[in-house]
Structure 1
């Protein structure tokens, strides 16, 4: 089967992170972060971003939330129609002000890594981040101890890991109930004369089937409602209407490009 253009490109690495290092006072005691004009510029080259299950509702107001993968499926917010082209980051590297910023983005430059020897999670920082360096405004450490900023980052990453595990359980539930179907996102461009052009496939992905959901027993639907899963399912399903919004943004950008280059 042909690989979807939306398949995540994260093999062996974590998206965004080029040089993650376990953060220690010995190696990072003289480092910190500084304010930069465009803190989300690093997202511009990523058209899909992982989201957790509790983000389906807010993310779904801005993006289609889809599932990608075979044995293990990952929830993704779709921010572009082509690999490496994020339609929600402008030419200056700024997020659209009306768009939701996923936690996966907000935790950067920090991330947890597994220490297999000690069987624990270690907080790491991407040393290659543009806003990390010795000319900092906010230090990582104060008197050899984590600063308030670093402690807050650690708590955020702790919370993110909790949500990630919750998301894994949610995806396992969808698989157990066999609620997912393969879908295609398609786009029909317009010819110069206004007629419909040749349809183009944008993506292959997985989504909850409304038909399969409707076939669940009343008892199971009540259970899903009570544990909160049903609300997340509907948030995902409603988000799929965002494909039209995404296409409209892409068309608007394409129309503006010739004018900008004129």
Structure 2
């Protein structure tokens, strides 16, 4: 598991990092979280389910049926389908919650810090975040805001009692279409008025990609060149939920 440390001038003022050029770091990740704004794009390329952690629901891109494996990355680190989840595009950075406080801090994966001056500096000579790292922080901050909205939306689906375990991967759930179709008019109207239906339907579209996980690494089609580090994957992360 990756070890992250808070980014600060005292520890990283003379440090550098290299922008991601591949996804070998994700080879052992069977699932990662998504936010509502990227679901439309992600649902066209991979199965997306729901998972609950510490009482909160999240969208998850399912990348393998087995823990410790990712069939959407080949051995050379190339992503094999047409969408890369935003959380992976943030590598080697992450926003990490401060225990006991309602805030997050920008962290960097410890193994990605280098003294190699051919890399990107973390900070300017004045001790401010470099322009590129500032872009990273803005990207991850927006993602965190959208994650909160997504959790609220998924709570509505949970309260509608239409979620069932999905055998695709332990701990992952999906919408049961039979339960959805059996909802009384009032219950369905509440879903529509909440604004969650676009998310729900995109999730159902993604279910059809479950078979992708049965293809061995290297056999599926390879997408065009890797996306730019932040942006370029067809999503702006924005998700409007009432």
1:133 alignment partner, one of 114, 124, 127: 114
Following the alignment from structure 2 to structure 1, what is the Cα–Cα distance between the partners of residues 97 and 210?
36
Superposition map of 1:170-185 within 5 A = 170-185=153-168
Return 5+ residue gaps in structure 2 as ranges. 220-242
Ranked by relative contact order (alpha carbons within 8 Å, sequence separation 6 or more), the top structure is 2
Would the alpha carbon gap of residues 147 and 251 (structure 1) be closer, same or farther in structure 2, given more than 3 Å must change?
closer
Moved more, 50-59 or 62-71: 62-71
Matched positions, count: 217
**What is aligned with 1:61?**
44
Return 5+ residue gaps in structure 1 as ranges. 1-15, 186-201, 254-262
Q: CA deviation at 1:203?
A: 5.2
**What is aligned with 1:76?**
60
Q: Deviations over 1:119-143 (max 9, x none)?
A: 53221111212xx312143211112
Following the alignment from structure 1 to structure 2, what is the Cα–Cα distance between the partners of residues 251 and 116?
38
Q: What is the TM-score normalised by the length of structure 1?
A: 0.73
Larger strand share, 1 or 2? 1
Q: Which has the larger radius of gyration?
A: 1
Would the alpha carbon gap of residues 206 and 35 (structure 1) be closer, same or farther in structure 2, given more than 3 Å must change?
closer
Q: What is the TM-score normalised by the length of structure 2?
A: 0.78
Would the alpha carbon gap of residues 67 and 118 (structure 1) be closer, same or farther in structure 2, given more than 3 Å must change?
closer
Would the alpha carbon gap of residues 175 and 124 (structure 1) be closer, same or farther in structure 2, given more than 3 Å must change?
same
Following the alignment from structure 2 to structure 1, what is the Cα–Cα distance between the partners of residues 100 and 176?
42
The alignment status of 1:112 with 2:95, answered yes or no, reads yes
Would the alpha carbon gap of residues 147 and 208 (structure 1) be closer, same or farther in structure 2, given more than 3 Å must change?
same
Following the alignment from structure 1 to structure 2, what is the Cα–Cα distance between the partners of residues 72 and 220?
22
Moved more, 139-148 or 55-64: 55-64
